[in-house]
Amino acid sequence: MRNLTEGREQFAALLTRPLPTDVSSSATTLGGRPALELRIEAPGTAGEDVLLYLHGGGFVVGSARVTAHLTVALLRHLDGRAVSLDYRLAPEHPFPAAPDDCLAAYRELLDSGADPRRLVIAGDSAGAALAVVTMMRARDAGLPMPAAAVLFSPAVDLTLSGASMRSKDGVDPIFTPADLEWYFDQYIAGGDRSTPEASPVFADLTGLPPLLIQVGSSELLLDDAVRLAGRAGIDEVTVTLEVAPRQPHVFHHGESAEAAAALERAGRFLALRLRGRKEGS
């Protein structure tokens, strides 16, 4: 991507969808960063559930608005609102700017009165990695965990050491290993790619809430998801891994039956965990 401005515009043009007519959106700030607040305008949707969504884009492109259709799909299963964060992007703001912004956003939600029992977090690709890192950092800071997290095609190994980087090279319809190398170079800016806060597949996940991980079998990042689920299991975290056959990276963006079904399951997963937490379980 030789021209960042052009690349960001192309990414937005490719993925952004009109918001449904029953969805209201408003610009806000969270943790000192711009954010997009979304609500479903329907009876029985004015509750206190909060979804914090972190968008994908390789830490370099993307925005809260670009992935708003994914946020809305999850929000339809909640009773409340979603806030999607525009964290700082690389290379202008390399690691750890993005995780700093995400933790600040999470902390502000709690400080402003969000009940962690009614708070969930989700993200796609780089945003899914940031969701994991945010929970790790919140845990280490002594903050309460959210009720659950949903991770779409998480990019959690910047070292590109997963076997699928080779086995799915040429199968993945979106990325080559060189593409991912470029994105991660912008983000890590010469730093240690294996540090757990950059590559949470190498982290201690003890204490994290229940996780749902969804990934396509055609992805270079397939093993990121598989190994993250394994790491969560080792660390006694409740985790569900779903691998969608012959699906690409963040296939949820598409309009296929597989995408719709995966988003439906993800929304139900969050709703079930919220009900459980609200009932004290």
Mean pLDDT, residues 232-252 taken together: 98
Assign residue 114 a region (left: φ > 0; alpha: ψ between -120 and 50; beta: otherwise). Answer: beta
CB of 110 closer than 8 Å to CB of 138: no
Active site residues: 125
Name residue, tokens 């969504």: 53
pLDDT of residue 46: 74
How many other C-beta atoms are found inside a 10 Å radius of the C-beta of residue 107?
17
CB of 19 closer than 8 Å to CB of 25: yes
Nearest to 212 by CA among 136, 158, 138, 268: 268
Domains of the chain, start order: 4-278 (3.40.50.1820)
pTM for the structure as a whole: 0.96
pLDDT of residue 281: 41
> pLDDT tens across 179-226, in order?
999 999 999 999 999 999 999 999 999 999 999 999 999 999 999 999
